Structure 1
């Protein structure tokens, strides 16, 4: 059987193949310290586990659930956006739960992109934006981000591009992998850019509560709902990555367009998962304070490790990663492989996020502090 043509230009996700290599080293007895992926190692809130367990005995819990999610969950999303982002959402029409925001990337692309349409994708940026665009036979068009510009879009450079075929633009703030945050003015400019060129702006926003004192939503910008969709997730902010729970918010028109795809792809989210997610969204700020205290302590140790490796971290980074420039004269892949095979430490090379990520590596904060301390000891021996 011959694979579909759409797979010809789509590679296996880097971490899928690299982690097999890491597991093989572990199986051979290597004590690998994994600082590569952003999979939270901390437990979800106890209230969430309680709600999940309670949901198992709820009447109808094991039946198909509404395609748009339970009203309780959608109300919780709307309340959460109002409380933390000062954004008003109609829970009936302007938000929908997702089985992880990664699902939303595919659904949005299927809903809005035709073969040959162009998609603006940040470089560096999340590799899935590119792979999904190729899967739906759209053409990626990269816009460069750099340290000198604080990893923010250069609107003058964007204006010089031929945008006639561009239908969608991916943005991601706080940014992964660099940790850069967008200002209110940048979000305002993105909305204006989308309106001027009739481009759907999609902000991927899973990191806004991790080591960030000022969480923002692009939907707060005036007129944003007309041209903006925003993805959000409980994976990072509530340590629920394996639950696969996210949400998509925007105008009724754009949400309904995505639902045409989504309702043909699943039959609703398991009720207890929605009950747990609802409980998570109702928590107060003390939850974020508690996990950020842990991440801040880990961050201090990672910066010590980076210094021992002669890597230079960027400034003012939000999220659960530390983005660092590697020493001159070494590629990111070479540097990462040397760390892996000489010190049994795994980190993410910057090149996987685009050619503008070359020369950098990304450390994850998703490991216990004693593991980071052990990594420091190995490097300093």
Structure 2
């Protein structure tokens, strides 16, 4: 009997999710007895601060919190997000119309696209970038236009290079700073230029700000909503995943233009029922409570980056110390594609890296390394790369 493939043409066109593939490969290697060190996926190893966990337990003991949650998020959470924006950015938000709760920012980003575009519409997407932007566009029947991010231009898109006919057909633009995978950061004037361009062409902007609080050496990541006129055209996605090490909790938010949020809420109201109320209330407590863990965790990430940079330098790879995110975006040695270098490292050292090409064509020639593993494992990984990795022709 022949197996029948039950899937739509839309699903058939979606490439395998790179991190799912890496996880499968990792499990195979572990079963074969190899001690694998995974520097591919950015999932923090540091614990969620205890006071947030205790707040979750407290809220779970309240029977009233076991009911269906509010579709747009409980008032306590939305008010906490608005309070955070006022303290951090001096941006005023209406908790009732300019804040929307998400089941993690990834979910919100994926749902935003069908909320704003129709089949055939163009979505402007950074290249390289978080794969969900491009895949969700394909699922919605949209057409992705890659905005090249190059080191020569500080990994910022050049808006003046976007063809005028493409701009006219564009119905959404994604931005992401601190960047994944590039770890690039921007100053407030960049968002001013982005908003000006978007208003001129009437293109809504979705800024993915998942790493906004993971910053170093005095740098503070700005919000796009600080730019003049931003609320007329932009929304910003945020997450508690990286700030408070709450990846598995699946809690995030989107803020900004109320009309865009209303469109997104329409999609969400018909596809999900919101996040578990105790998680929302614990997240509100996190935003309003003791913030000292953020600086401590950033200090740890900063120290780990030095370990990675030293390890890469030992094989002749020079990478820049970033101002934000917990990723290092490093060029591969001369003569290798991203995929070839990643395969060589994995085969010879048991260390998993993410090929830059997984994030878009412009990412080829780079690899992404995450410092979200314990210190001793990170030091072991760099030691293996230094001592075991053999590159054909050396490094130029």
SS of the equivalent of 2:183 reads coil
4+ residue segments displaced more than 3 Å? none
1:8 Cα deviation (Å)?
3.0
**1:163 maps to what in 2?**
167
TM-score calculated relative to the size of structure 2:
0.93
1:315 Cα deviation (Å)?
4.7
Superposed counterparts of 1:370-381, under 5 Å: 370-381=376-387
**1:70 maps to what in 2?**
74
**2:214 maps to what in 1?**
210
Correspondent of 2:260 among 235, 240, 254: 254
**1:243 maps to what in 2?**
249
**1:119 maps to what in 2?**
123
**1:340 maps to what in 2?**
346
Q: Following the alignment from structure 2 to structure 1, what is the Cα–Cα distance between the partners of residues 163 and 193?
A: 12
The yes-or-no answer on 1:147 pairing with 2:151 is yes
The yes-or-no answer on 1:190 pairing with 2:174 is no
Superposed counterparts of 1:42-53, under 5 Å: 42-53=46-57
The yes-or-no answer on 1:93 pairing with 2:97 is yes
Distance 1:304 1:161, change over 3 A: farther
1:161 Cα deviation (Å)?
5.6
Cα-to-partner distance string for 1:159-179 (whole Å, 9 max, x where unaligned): 556322110001101111111
Q: Following the alignment from structure 1 to structure 2, what is the Cα–Cα distance between the partners of residues 357 and 224?
A: 29
Q: Does the 8 Å CA contact 1:84/1:215 hold for their aligned counterparts?
A: no
1:268 Cα deviation (Å)?
2.2
Q: Does the 8 Å CA contact 2:241/2:247 hold for their aligned counterparts?
A: yes
**1:172 maps to what in 2?**
176
Q: Does the 8 Å CA contact 2:115/2:263 hold for their aligned counterparts?
A: yes
Q: Following the alignment from structure 1 to structure 2, what is the Cα–Cα distance between the partners of residues 304 and 160?
A: 44
Q: Following the alignment from structure 2 to structure 1, what is the Cα–Cα distance between the partners of residues 259 and 17?
A: 32
Q: Following the alignment from structure 1 to structure 2, what is the Cα–Cα distance between the partners of residues 156 and 114?
A: 25
1:153 Cα deviation (Å)?
1.4
State which drifts further: 6-15 or 170-179.
6-15
Q: Following the alignment from structure 2 to structure 1, what is the Cα–Cα distance between the partners of residues 339 and 66?
A: 46
1:310 Cα deviation (Å)?
2.2
1:358 Cα deviation (Å)?
0.6
Q: Following the alignment from structure 2 to structure 1, what is the Cα–Cα distance between the partners of residues 257 and 132?
A: 24
**2:62 maps to what in 1?**
58
Q: Following the alignment from structure 1 to structure 2, what is the Cα–Cα distance between the partners of residues 293 and 314?
A: 17
State which drifts further: 268-277 or 340-349.
268-277
Cα-to-partner distance string for 1:55-88 (whole Å, 9 max, x where unaligned): 1112411110111111111110000111112211
Aligned residues: 381
1:285 Cα deviation (Å)?
4.2
Q: Following the alignment from structure 2 to structure 1, what is the Cα–Cα distance between the partners of residues 202 and 165?
A: 14
Q: Does the 8 Å CA contact 2:102/2:274 hold for their aligned counterparts?
A: no
The yes-or-no answer on 1:328 pairing with 2:334 is yes
Q: Does the 8 Å CA contact 2:355/2:368 hold for their aligned counterparts?
A: yes
Q: Following the alignment from structure 1 to structure 2, what is the Cα–Cα distance between the partners of residues 376 and 219?
A: 39
Quote the RMSD (CA, aligned, Å): 1.3
Cα-to-partner distance string for 1:180-228 (whole Å, 9 max, x where unaligned): 1122111011111111111011000011111243121101111101100
Q: Does the 8 Å CA contact 1:178/1:314 hold for their aligned counterparts?
A: no
SS of the equivalent of 1:93 reads coil
